[in-house]
Structure 1
Amino acid sequence: MPAHYDALETRSPAEREAAQFAALPKLIAHACAHSTAWRERLAGIDPAQITTRAALARLPVLRKHELMERQQAARQEGGDPFGGLATIGWNGLLRARGVRRVFQSPGPIYEPEGHASDYWRSARALVAAGFEPGDLIHNAFSYHLTPGAWIMEAGAQALGCPVVPGGVGNTEQQLAAIFDLQPVAYCGTPSFLRILAEKAEAVGRTLPIRKALVSGEAFPPSLRDWLAERGVVAYQAYATADVGLIAYETAAREGLVVDEGVIVEIVRPGTDEPVPDGEVGEVVVTALNLDYPLIRFGTGDLSAVLPGPCPTGRTNTRIRGWLGRADQTTKVKGMFVHPAQVAEVVRRHPEVRRARLVVSGRMADDHMRLMAETDQPSPALEQALHATLREVTKLRGTVELVASGSLPNDGKVIEDARTYD
């Protein structure tokens, strides 16, 4: 089994950073030249100046709800179903190159697939999970409209692995095919792999599957160990329908290594601002993909950067994996309160490092309490925060000043602590 997919995984961090930020200005220039949305969104930006992380951080984050809204608005006008963000299309869409497939994700959101080999870059994750050329893979992701199965199949083909397109459902039929064909590898959700294993045990048989790459849902250590007891070594991949592979697990089992084809930032929820390494925030991805150049795309997922390189020799940044959702919007006394509003309160008071809005009480009796970290506590600051909180949210709340570093490092900006019994 190859130790790594290619030499890119083991290059020095400085070499990687230089290569990615040499490619980024070209990506931005291409996006603005061939995409109406990016030309509008990045108006006034000189692509040649976006050569560092600090420069990248000055560009706006594109969040998933904005992507969906832009696509919906364009479709209602009979325009581009990709909302002007893609540079590929088909007859009737003015694009640099043609599209191979079009997928639909919940929303609906439409994603294009270009013609590049391993377009979604999943082969790297397959190798890290122990897959080898010639391994027969049972692919249990959906082939219907969504790209999940195609993401894995493209990587399998690039690696030289034949695929059984199992899809979802029809468990008995899939199990029969597994017993007949004896695949050694599996791609799909971890919960369906467990179902297959349990059904095999119920008829006194054992799955021939020995290795797995799972995604699409949480993969707790308890399930990982349960599968290992049955001879299946499973690793997880973190991917989305929008950007493909973002990060992947390795044999070290110490976080997920960021893929070579993306630039990952962690930003404070509700803002465009990167957080210090180690602090939990929203995963923001820039895909170095000329066909669908998503620049600072907010996934809505929470994670954090881990210190140091992976013990397997891979040198790219590691993240902790999926830690929850960043969109913590909640309704208080009939009005929506957004993480961006909490961020705005903090922005207006430089003495505050970060804050958390705790909503408590019972249904129809909501109470807001802003917990603000500061090294300069004072009654004046408390009163000023109280006034700003009301001005920004249009709701009354209390303020509690706390010491810097005392709030949990879990990425929560709004905590809903109400009871509903």
Structure 2
Amino acid sequence: MTQYFDDLEARNPEERAEAISRALPAQIAAAQALPGYGETLREIDAAAITTIADLAQLPVLRKSDLGRAQGNAAPFGGLTTRPAHGFSHIFQSPGPIYEPGGTDHDWWRMGRFLHACGIGKGDIVQNCFGYHLTPAGMIFENGARAVGAAVLPAGTGQTELQARAAHDVGVTAYAGTPDYLKVILDKADELGLPLKITRAAVGGGALFPSLRSEYGERGIACLQCYATADLGNIAYESPAQEGMIVDEGVIVEIVTPGTGNPVAPGEVGEVVVTTLNPDYPLIRFATGDLSAVMEGESPCGRTNTRIKGWMGRADQTTKIKGMFVRPEQVAALVAGHAGIARARVIASREGEADVMTVKIETDAENGDAFADAVAETLKLKGRIEVVAKGSLPNDGKVIEDQRTYE
């Protein structure tokens, strides 16, 4: 029998709809009172927005809107109900975009996912998400605290030390990007260090079936979640591994990309999320990610809506090695270096790892001269391939994702 994180996961549709009818008007009213929303919500009757369908009346909030708002009212753009000093943490993501963070019980709602992974009291989680400026490390640490697990705050890099720590400490669970666990496991094998990891909670990149299968052969049950720095956990896998179950603290819509218009059930569209977090009431926040609603309920007994998981980007923004690379960053690379005529970022896979290749149209013969500019502007190191001027396709793309997700 399924042991739920809380009773909310097994509510019947009527109970959940009733809860939403109470929560939505209050959340929208709270957002209306914030200066960051300006006039966008002023004419809305918050009391009349009581269903998910009613949300279609409201405008969509995009990442670019956050950037503009924060430029006018740092650091959070007047979109939080607490002042900056009222939060436990302040994070910076590429853009830069600033996000608040709390240490209240399960503030990011990641405990629900870790519980579904079977992680709890008695576990030691090796948290390999980044702790520097960006919030992923603290998001998962907060979730581990919610389920009573201890944390080894490993962050990224230093693989040999990571493998030794996992062995010495007796780590039982991993949290991080899908492919980095394999790097640690292979290094531990190389060093002759037996590990006790039996569960993995991953995010920040695609979990390919071949990689999940390899972990399974090593005795590691690996599940993935869908989360963002702004929203926290949005949806997560259960052991049933049939789609992703929408978290109880958010409302998810699937809309036609670039609009706020809901698509027909089952159609692929852009994921738009309204969070019920009273500290940071994001209303109809467009993630830029593509997904679709699945019919029915999960065999695990959790009753909330399921989505098919991450199915690509509604724009060219692409996640590589757990970090977003955006078209505006590629434009900045070209604008900031006189020797670059045009550039194109290629995301591919080698084995089970992401690879970023940056093709640069230039008269230069050696791409090494651009390595520092690429790393600084794109926030990732990658291969640099020099190509002749005029040779890149004239198709409007500056980021091309060649990875497949089957």
TM range (shorter): 0.7 to 0.9
Query: Is there any run of 5+ residues in structure 2 with no aligned partner, and where?
Result: 318-326, 328-389
The equivalent position to 2:211 in structure 1, one of 202, 223, 240, is 223
The equivalent position to 1:171 in structure 2, one of 142, 145, 159, is 159
For each residue in 1:121-145, what CA deviation from the matched residue of structure 2 results, as whole angstroms up to 9, or x when unmatched?
0000001111122211111111111
Residue of structure 1 equivalent to 2:129: 141
Residue of structure 1 equivalent to 2:177: 189
Is the CA contact (8 Å cut-off) linking 1:197 and 1:206 kept in structure 2? no
Equivalent position SS for 2:274:
strand
| Compared CA separation, residues 132 and 247, structure 1 to 2 (3 A) | same
Q: 1:157, 1:53 → 2: CA distance?
A: 31
For each residue in 1:356-407, what CA deviation from the matched residue of structure 2 results, as whole angstroms up to 9, or x when unmatched?
xxxxxx9799699xxxxxxxxxxxxxxxxxxxxxxxxxxxxxxxxxxxxxxx
Q: 2:124, 2:143 → 1: CA distance?
A: 13
Q: 1:235, 1:27 → 2: CA distance?
A: 31
Matches within 5 A, 1:131-280: 131-280=119-268
Query: Is there any run of 5+ residues in structure 1 with no aligned partner, and where?
Result: 92-97, 331-361, 369-414
Q: 1:151, 1:416 → 2: CA distance?
A: 27
Q: Does residue 20 in structure 1 map to residue 14 in structure 2?
A: no
| Compared CA separation, residues 167 and 57, structure 1 to 2 (3 A) | same
State the percentage of identical aligned residues.
55
The equivalent position to 2:77 in structure 1, one of 61, 68, 83, is 83
Q: Please state how far the C-alpha of 1:324 moved relative to its aligned partner.
A: 0.3
Q: Which has more radius of gyration?
A: 1
Q: 1:181, 1:195 → 2: CA distance?
A: 18
Equivalent position SS for 1:190:
coil
| Compared CA separation, residues 366 and 112, structure 1 to 2 (3 A) | closer
Matches within 5 A, 1:3-402: 3-33=3-33, 35-71=34-70, 73-74=71-72, 79-90=73-84, 98-328=86-316
Equivalent position SS for 1:315:
coil
Is the CA contact (8 Å cut-off) linking 2:254 and 2:272 kept in structure 1? yes
Q: 1:2, 1:307 → 2: CA distance?
A: 21
Is the CA contact (8 Å cut-off) linking 2:126 and 2:174 kept in structure 1? yes
Q: Please state how far the C-alpha of 1:290 moved relative to its aligned partner.
A: 1.0
Letter of the 2:106 counterpart: D
Is the CA contact (8 Å cut-off) linking 2:215 and 2:222 kept in structure 1? yes
Equivalent position SS for 1:219:
coil
Q: 2:80, 2:295 → 1: CA distance?
A: 34
Letter of the 2:32 counterpart: C
| Compared CA separation, residues 257 and 203, structure 1 to 2 (3 A) | same
Cα RMSD for the two superposed structures:
2.3
Q: 2:241, 2:84 → 1: CA distance?
A: 42
Residue of structure 2 equivalent to 1:409: none
Is the CA contact (8 Å cut-off) linking 1:68 and 1:108 kept in structure 2? yes
Q: 2:279, 2:263 → 1: CA distance?
A: 29
| Compared CA separation, residues 252 and 367, structure 1 to 2 (3 A) | closer
| Compared CA separation, residues 184 and 114, structure 1 to 2 (3 A) | closer
| Compared CA separation, residues 261 and 203, structure 1 to 2 (3 A) | same
Letter of the 1:239 counterpart: A
Farther off after superposition, 98-107 or 304-313: 98-107
| Compared CA separation, residues 171 and 13, structure 1 to 2 (3 A) | same
Q: 2:184, 2:49 → 1: CA distance?
A: 48
Is the CA contact (8 Å cut-off) linking 2:274 and 2:285 kept in structure 1? yes
Q: Please state how far the C-alpha of 1:30 moved relative to its aligned partner.
A: 1.5
Q: 2:164, 2:218 → 1: CA distance?
A: 19
Letter of the 1:87 counterpart: T
Q: 1:219, 1:366 → 2: CA distance?
A: 32
Farther off after superposition, 128-137 or 300-309: 128-137
Farther off after superposition, 287-296 or 199-208: 199-208
Tell me the TM-score normalised to structure 2 length: 0.77
Is the CA contact (8 Å cut-off) linking 1:188 and 1:215 kept in structure 2? yes
Equivalent position SS for 2:90:
strand
Tell me the TM-score normalised to structure 1 length: 0.74
